Every structure is written in C-alpha cells, then in structure tokens.
Amino acid sequence: MTGVTPSKAPSDLLLRSVAGVGMVALAVAALVAGGMVLWLLCAVAGLFMMAEWSDLHGIDGRQKRLAQYSLFVPLALMASPLAAGPGFLTLGLLAGAAFFIVIVTGRKDLAIGTVYVGLPILALLLIRRQHEGVVWTLWALSLVWATDIGAYFAGRAIGGLKLAPRLSPSKTWAGLIGGVFLASIVGAAFHGFYGLPLRMTLATPALAVLAQCGDLYESSLKRRAGVKDSGTLIPGHGGVLDRLDGVVPVAPVAALLAVLPHFYT
C-alpha cells in the first residue's frame, strides 16, 4: 500500500520492515538463481494470487480450485527449460485457460483473474530469459518497490490532497509524486551503473504511475469486497496480491520494452 498518511505503531512498522526485507531478499535470490527456482516462486505466488482474487470476488471454493487448476496448466508450461517456457504458446494457453473458466463457471471475473495473475508471471519470466535478464527484471521490480517506498514516506511526511478518496482514502498526490520521483532515481541508477537501455530508463516514471494505478485498482477490489487486505499470508502486509498489485500492470509493459528490439532485427 502506498501514499499512506495515518501513523503506524512502531511494532507494526518493524514487522512490515522485517517482512519486506525478507520478501525482497527471497525475490532477488530467486531472480539470480533463475530457472526452476524462479519459476517455482512465481508459480506458488500465482496460485495464492488466484485464491485471493477469487475470495475478493466472492467465488466459492469449488470454482476457486478449478481456476487454480486451470491456471497451473499455462504456469507449468512456463517452466523453462523443462517445458516450452514463457512465449506465444504459453500466452495462448493462458488465454485458453481463461476461456475455459468462463465457459465452465460462467464467471467472467474469474476468467479475468486468470489473465490478471498469469500475464505478469509470464512477463517476468520472459524478461529474465533475455541476455540482460537479471538486471532488467530487477529494474522492473525495483521501480515498483521504489514507488511504494517513496509514496509511503512522502504521503506520511507531506500529506495533503487525496489522490482517489473513493478508492483509497489514505493515498495522496504527494505520495504519487514521491513514488514517481524515487522510482525515477532508481531507473537513472540502473542506467548509469548497469547500462539499462534508454527506452527503459525514460519509461520508468510512467511505469511508476502505472504501478500506482495497479495499487488503486486492487484497493477498489478490496473496498468493494469490504476487506482491509486481500489475504493474511504475509505478516504486516496482508496477502500476495497486496504486495504485487503494482507489479501486475508494470511487468507486461516492461516485458514489451525488453523484447521490442527483437521485432526490428
């Protein structure tokens, strides 16, 4: 959650900080390892995300499990090098899984959730497969983390005009600006130290805004469902969707930026 103005108890902040550092360390370790390690982390996260999406939409247990089973088919095919890996085949299977879900259950929201969860996973695995995949994937994740951190502290320190009070009354315009600013610094640092392509560096501020939009969208889902968090898996942070709401819209765009040169060669 970003751009939060109310104060937090020191114990809550400590718990959030420790859990946050642990999640970042786990993500970076899996990213560096790549292969099956990264795929396994993404697949497990995807199944939890699908369950939380189902709960937010009031979907019963049988349909939720069916959606998880259907999602796991394209997820399994993304397991490079044992399977096809992330690509057009798995993208087609992901669309097929969504189509199957809506035909069998009649729930369009459940089909949308299949794409909502599966597409960013495919995108992250696709970025990781590129020649500079470790740096590029870390950039995509880091800009989301920086947006969250910058928005949180700017929102607390400055406060002011609310960003979208009907969706999330705690988020502010100051938080948005702070998040975009810190993410832009991260993008510039990746460009200067790791040679991040200019197209990605220049796109970083826009992606930071997109990350905030993903945060607001998930806030709207929770507000409609009448819950504070999407789940209770992560101490001090809620559910997996709560932590990856900014990654969901950012990852596919970052993947397009990563593979764009291949369409011109």
Per-residue pLDDT of the chain (265 residues; tens, 9 = 90+): 444 444 445 566 777 778 888 999 999 999 999 999 999 999 999 999 999 999 999 999 999 999 999 999 999 999 977 788 999 999 999 999 999 999 999 999 999 999 999 999 999 999 999 999 999 999 999 999 999 999 999 998 998 899 988 888 888 999 999 999 999 999 999 999 999 999 999 999 999 999 999 999 999 999 999 999 999 888 777 899 999 999 999 999 999 999 988 766 5
Compute the chain's Rg from CA coordinates: 18
The residues with which 172 forms a beta bridge, in sequence order, are: 162
What's the rounded Cα separation, in Å, for the pair 174 and 180? 10
Q: How many other CB atoms are found less than 10 A from the CB of residue 50?
A: 28
* 248 contacts 46 by C-beta, under 8 angstroms: no
**Taking the mean position of all CA atoms in its chain, how far away is CA 40?**
16
What's the rounded Cα separation, in Å, for the pair 212 and 94? 25
Domains of the chain, residue spans: 10-264
Give every CB contact of residue 190 below 8 A, 6+ residues apart in sequence: 135, 138, 139, 142, 196, 200, 201
Burial of residue 12 (number of CB atoms within 10 Å: 0-12, 13-18, 19+): exposed
Q: How many residues does the chain have?
A: 265
The residues with which 168 forms a beta bridge, in sequence order, are: 164
Burial of residue 189 (number of CB atoms within 10 Å: 0-12, 13-18, 19+): middle
**Helix residue ranges per DSSP H, the chain:** 10-33, 35-56, 61-77, 88-105, 108-128, 133-158, 173-194, 198-225, 240-244, 247-259
Token couple for 127: 């970025």
Which residue, chain included where needed, has tokens 């420790």? Answer: 18
pTM comes to 0.92
